[in-house]
């Protein structure tokens, strides 16, 4: 019996090692969020396109959502396998830099244009979108027209939101409420709490609840309806336009100091803002491209909500307050 166990153990150990040390060729490891690497997300196409040009292996590692991605990097510290982290957003940049794990890219980013002309020496934007409440028109006849209406509206119409501790949309909603309500944010959350059906760790779980009909509203992006219009030819799901304005998310990627092959990493970052990558984004990640695409966006993108006012908090301010605001949020959300 002992021999069997020893050999089982050997098998387990072999399993562990075979997982990490696979190929001898150059490998670029990119940590990103779950929905990016899913079969229908941008991951597979990006992998194919990049591997064509680099004679290397592109290895995606999916982590639940953007904030969890940063947490994972912190947890792994300098021993991390990641060469690139893709999927943080501008809110997290200061905190990410403070870990000392990232290195400035030193690349020319003049081709990039995002609202507010955001630039950074370490992180490069690859897409953006405005957060919005997406609702099911078959259930919701009177969607909220403002954040205030969302907070104070009909309690029987529930919403699924994301957890700000793991998810960038979750954090986005937290900052949006903060931007609109200021110090009154905890009171707003205490009210909104009653409309929240569930808080999911990532965007995909929440969105799944909407498409399965479990919930009539979900916290997502103004661009989400484009997916349903293009892929499913339906305008059943719509984004609600909020009168106060919408919080914007600019998603970024950065190179880690310990990247095994920095040239390869930089090559990926350059590729990321090229049309080859940007073409893939709108119809797989369903976000807005940050630079020219080779073809115009599908018509559906013209029918989307165009926010008049855009909120974006400085990432230093976010870094300074995130923990305190999250604690406030936890306290407000756990009230009975």
Partner 1 sequence: MLTRAERRRGIAWGLLSLIGIALFVGIAVAALLSWDVGDTRARLFTAYTWRILRFTLWQAVLSTLLSIAFAIPVTLALARRPRFPVRVWIIRLMAVPMGLPVLIGALGLIGIWGRQGVINSLLLKLGLDQPVSIYGLTGILLAHVFFNLPLAARLLLAALERLPAEYWQLASSLGMRPFSVFRFIEWPAVQRVIPGIAGLIFMLCATSFTLVLVLGGGPAATTLEVAIYQSLRFDFAPARAVALALLQIGVTALILIAMARFPIPDDAGMTAGRATRRFDGRTVPARLWDAFAISVATAFLVLPLASIVFAGLKADLWNLATSTAFLRATWTSFIIALTGGLLAVLTSLAIIAARGAVTDMKRPGKAAKGFSALLGGMSSLVLLIPPVVLGTGWFLTLRSIGDVTRFAPVLLVLINMLMALPFVMRVLAPAIETHRQQSGRLSASLGISGLAKLRRIDLPVLIRPLLTGLSFAMALSLGDLGAVALFGSNDLTTLPWLVYSRLSSYRTNDADGLALLLGIICLLLTMLGTAGQKEARHD
Q: State the Cα–Cα distance between residues 217 and 215, nearest whole angstrom.
A: 6
Nearest to 106, CA basis, from 94, 95, 121 = 121
Kindly state the smallest distance separating residue 323's Cβ from partner 1, in Å.
Answer: 7
Task: Please identify, using beta-carbon distances, which residue of 89 and 279 lies nearer to partner 1.
Answer: 89
Half-sphere exposure of residue 60: CA atoms within 13 angstroms, side-chain side: 23
211 touches partner 1 by CB under 8 A: yes
Contact pick of 4, 24, 55, 183 for partner 1 (by CB under 8 A) = 4
5 binds partner 1 (CB under 8 A): yes
CA distances for 86 relative to 20, 34, 245, angstroms: 21, 11, 27
Least distance (Å) from partner 1 to the CB of residue 61?
5
Q: How far apart are CA 106 and CA 144, in angstroms?
A: 44
Task: State the Cα–Cα distance between residues 150 and 194, nearest whole angstrom.
Answer: 11
> How is residue 78 annotated by DSSP?
G
Least distance to partner 1, CB of residue 110, Å: 35
Give the list of residues 6+ apart from residue 270 with CB closer than 8 angstroms, or none: 107
Please report, as residue ranges, which positions from 17 to 46 form the binding site for partner 1 (by CB under 8 A): 17, 19-20, 34-35, 37-38
Judged by CB under 8 A, the residue of 234, 243, 303, 335 near partner 1 is 335
Among the listed ranges 73-81, 85-93, 226-234, 248-256, the one in contact with partner 1 (CB under 8 A) is: 73-81
Taking the complex as a whole, how short is the minimal distance between the CB of residue 223 and partner 1, in angstroms?
Answer: 17
Question: Which letter, b or e, does each residue of 272-296 get, where b requires 16 or more Cβ atoms within 10 Å of its Cβ?
Answer: bbeebbbbbbbbbbbbbbbbebeee
Residues that bind partner 1 (CB under 8 A): 1-2, 4-5, 8-9, 11-13, 15-17, 19-20, 34-35, 37-38, 60-64, 67-68, 71, 74-77, 79, 81, 156, 163, 165-166, 193, 196-199, 201-202, 204-205, 207-208, 211-215, 323, 326-327, 329-331, 333-336
């Amino acid at each position: 019996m002992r021999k069997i166990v020893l050999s089982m153990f050997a098998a387990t150990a072999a399993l562990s090692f075979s997982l990490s040390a696979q190929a001898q060729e150059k490998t670029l490891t990119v940590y990103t969020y779950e929905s990016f690497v899913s079969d229908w997300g941008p991951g597979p196409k990006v992998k194919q396109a990049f591997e064509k040009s680099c004679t290397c292996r592109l290895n995606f590692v999916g982590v639940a959502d953007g904030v969890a991605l940063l947490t994972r990097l912190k947890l792994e510290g300098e021993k991390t396998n990641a060469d690139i982290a893709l999927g943080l957003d501008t809110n997290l940049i200061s905190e990410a830099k403070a870990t000392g794990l990232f290195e400035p890219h030193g690349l020319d980013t003049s081709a990039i244009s995002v609202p507010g002309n955001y630039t950074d020496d370490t992180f490069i934007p690859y897409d953006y979108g405005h957060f919005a409440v997406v609702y099911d028109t078959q259930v919701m006849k009177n969607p909220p027209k403002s954040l205030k209406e969302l907070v104070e509206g009909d309690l029987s119409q529930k919403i699924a939101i994301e957890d700000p501790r793991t998810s960038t949309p979750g954090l986005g909603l937290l900052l949006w409420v903060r931007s609109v309500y200021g110090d009154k944010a905890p009171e707003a959350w205490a009210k909104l709490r009653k409309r929240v059906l569930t808080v999911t760790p990532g965007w995909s779980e929440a969105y799944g609840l909407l498409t399965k009909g479990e919930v009539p509203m979900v916290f997502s992006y103004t661009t989400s309806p484009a997916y349903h219009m293009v892929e499913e030819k339906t305008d059943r799901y719509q984004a609600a336009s909020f009168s106060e304005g919408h919080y914007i998310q600019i998603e970024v990627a950065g190179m880690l100091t310990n990247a095994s092959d920095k040239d390869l990493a930089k090559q990926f970052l350059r590729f990321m803002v090229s049309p080859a990558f940007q073409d893939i984004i709108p119809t797989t990640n369903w976000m807005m491209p940050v630079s020219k695409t080779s073809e115009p966006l599908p018509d559906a993108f013209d029918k989307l909500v165009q926010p008049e006012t855009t909120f974006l908090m400085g990432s230093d301010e976010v870094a300074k307050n995130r923990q305190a605001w999250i604690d406030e949020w936890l306290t407000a959300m756990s009230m009975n």
